[in-house]
Structure 1
Amino acid sequence: MKTTINKALATPLLLSCLMLQGTPAQAGQDASPASNLLTSAVAWKQTAAEFEALYYQGFNVARMQLDRALQARKDGDRPLAIISDVDDTVLGSNSYWGYMVNADKEFFDDSAWDKWVADNGPVATPGAVEFLNYAQSKGVEVFYVTSRDQGEKTFEYALANLRKNQLPFADEKHLTVYRDSSNKEPRQTEIAKDYEVVVMLGDNLNDFKRKYYVADVKQRSALMTEDKQQFGRKFILFPNPTDGHWLKAIFGDSEPPATAQNRAKFKAAAGSTAWQPKP
């Protein structure tokens, strides 16, 4: 049976539905958004061959730098080492972000993340195991330095995540976890005293130097440009469009709440450089 709708009522009804869909539930934390800000970024991470290719590219570049360092070694040189971040560098978080989209959550959810980490959700990123095993086969040590906080079992969970994915050097000597800070420089400096650090791996500029941890987009870009010669040489950077300190530069907070005000701020950031068509 074909159902007909009075045309005089259809347009006002449609407009009302659209208005309700786009109206915030409250001034602060919104209910389910009409359009999840994470959708495009997560869809890319989940499906794009280009996303995987960037990881292979990063580890291939790291291997080239490692081979150069091995060839240049002389008797009496300090041993070689690699310093790596963990999350979204050697361990991927796609299943967490898939949950976030399916649950209509935006930005970041600490509670969900903590449960996902404890559930051993992270998986090795494309090319990570192969490259790190290659480094181990050449006598090069790998040190993992990460910032996490899942309570008293934080270190235990992080170690389990590495071991589940059969990453080399998954032990207490080679893993450092900061629970109360995102400043990794103290441990990086300690490692550099005893080893020649060939490359540093990360998905966040702050994984390389603390100076990048600033709440200003232009300042952060300027600081990065100062070190542009290091990228692809000492610093190997992997893609992460879903979270990180780039958000802090926009919002002043690396994990901003999903409010109407923050959505507007995000949109403004996306349109900060925009073509204006001529009339």
Structure 2
Amino acid sequence: MKGRGILAVALALSLSACVTAPAQQASTVPAPAAKPAEPPATMQWLYGSGEAGALGIQAYHAMRDFVLVQALAKRSGQSVVLAEGSTLQAPQFRTCRPDEPLAVILDVDETALLNLGYEYDEAKGRAYDAGIWDRWEKTGAGAVAPVPGAVTALRAIRQAGVTVVFNSNRQAANAAATAAAIEGAGLGPAKHGETLFLKGDVAPGSEKDPRRALVANRYCVVAMAGDQLGDFSDLFNARDLAIPARRAAATGGTFARLWGNGWFLLPNPVYGPGVRGSFDDVFPADKRWSDPAGEK
């Protein structure tokens, strides 16, 4: 057998010497990208810095204290979930019934859980891939960590009799693995269909408003937490909403009063609709500066 292998190799070499492949038939498979010397600066900040950890604790302390006040007062006023028919210009909120139990709604990824395992894999130079993310949802439960401050805050909120509900765009098909990730990080319990709602549970798309409405019909929702504006209302994700207009809506009027008073935002400079914008989007024309020493 060994002699046959040598003859086969010799024959293959002789044939390849007689045939020259056209240049256009050369392999187009790209070489693997070299692993960067360091993670992207945004990941360094979110997953490694003390500043990001402190901000997480600050946000969860604020949310815990706000919710405990509502629970102590047995609040039954307005829900913090936008009512159907709301617009960014005219937000409306449903009035809670006096006998309704209280709840909070949280996003999962980068709000309650830090996806350290997945982001490590992506930080090595790979672009986002939906198939890889799906495999991460299924198998990555052991490579996550709780956002600093989340475990103790959610424990205190539950002890006050307030239900914690998770609303995530992870796939409903991966519900068991997502619940395991949440509970393994000390943030549970999370029961699919009761305290955990996922993409595909209520509507086929990635919109979260239908799931929020479902929860708001069962509870008086006194607080929400997320790392992107879409974790509070899908109105902020409208395709025709310009970046400056989105910022203006989030920081003005009714919404300006909600931050820290029912809505609690966690930092995420790594991904999502907040990480975009041209120079014109980000820097107003009347707020630009050039070093006078560089002018000729």
Q: Same fold (TM over 0.5)?
A: yes
Partner of 1:222: 248
In structure 1, distance between residues paired with 2:281 and 2:33: 22
Partner of 1:164: 184
Q: Give secondary structure in 2 for the equivalent of 1:223.
A: helix
Are 2:168 and 1:143 aligned? no
Q: Which runs of 5+ in 2 are unaligned?
A: 1-29, 77-97
1:120-131 counterparts in 2 under 5 A?
120=141, 121-131=143-153
Q: Judging changes above 3 Å, is the alpha-carbon distance between structure 1 residues 136 and 276 closer, same or farther for their aligned structure 2 residues? A: same
Q: Judging changes above 3 Å, is the alpha-carbon distance between structure 1 residues 176 and 98 closer, same or farther for their aligned structure 2 residues? A: same
Residue 31 (structure 1) shift: 7.4
Match of 2:129 among 109, 121, 131: 109
Contact 2:52–2:267 (Cα < 8 Å) also in 1: yes
Q: What count of residue pairs does the alignment treat as equivalent? A: 231
Are 2:289 and 1:275 aligned? yes
Are 2:213 and 1:189 aligned? yes
Residue 214 (structure 1) shift: 3.0
Identity across aligned pairs (percent)? 26
Q: Which runs of 5+ in 1 are unaligned?
A: 1-28, 251-264
Residue 127 (structure 1) shift: 1.4
Partner of 1:201: 225
Are 2:214 and 1:177 aligned? no
53-62 or 187-196: which moved more?
Answer: 187-196
In structure 1, distance between residues paired with 2:220 and 2:58: 23
Partner of 1:8: none
Q: Judging changes above 3 Å, is the alpha-carbon distance between structure 1 residues 138 and 38 closer, same or farther for their aligned structure 2 residues? A: same
Are 2:114 and 1:92 aligned? yes
Residue 100 (structure 1) shift: 1.4
Can you list the C-alpha shifts for 1:50-101, whole angstroms capped at 9, x where unaligned? 1001110010000111121023227954211001111111111133222212
Q: Judging changes above 3 Å, is the alpha-carbon distance between structure 1 residues 68 and 42 closer, same or farther for their aligned structure 2 residues? A: same
Partner of 1:11: none
Normalised TM-score (structure 1): 0.73
Q: Judging changes above 3 Å, is the alpha-carbon distance between structure 1 residues 30 and 38 closer, same or farther for their aligned structure 2 residues? A: farther
Are 2:235 and 1:211 aligned? yes
In structure 2, distance between residues paired with 1:34 and 1:122: 22
Q: Give secondary structure in 2 for the equivalent of 1:194.
A: coil
Are 2:104 and 1:82 aligned? yes
Q: Judging changes above 3 Å, is the alpha-carbon distance between structure 1 residues 97 and 34 closer, same or farther for their aligned structure 2 residues? A: closer
Can you list the C-alpha shifts for 1:116-154, whole angstroms capped at 9, x where unaligned? 2222133211111111111111111011111123xx732
Residue 274 (structure 1) shift: 4.9
> Partner letter of residue 81 of structure 1?
A
Taking only aligned residues, the RMSD between alpha carbons, in angstroms, comes to 2.9
Partner of 1:72: 73
Are 2:53 and 1:39 aligned? no
In structure 2, distance between residues paired with 1:175 and 1:126: 21
Contact 2:105–2:223 (Cα < 8 Å) also in 1: yes
Partner of 2:64: 63
Residue 219 (structure 1) shift: 2.0
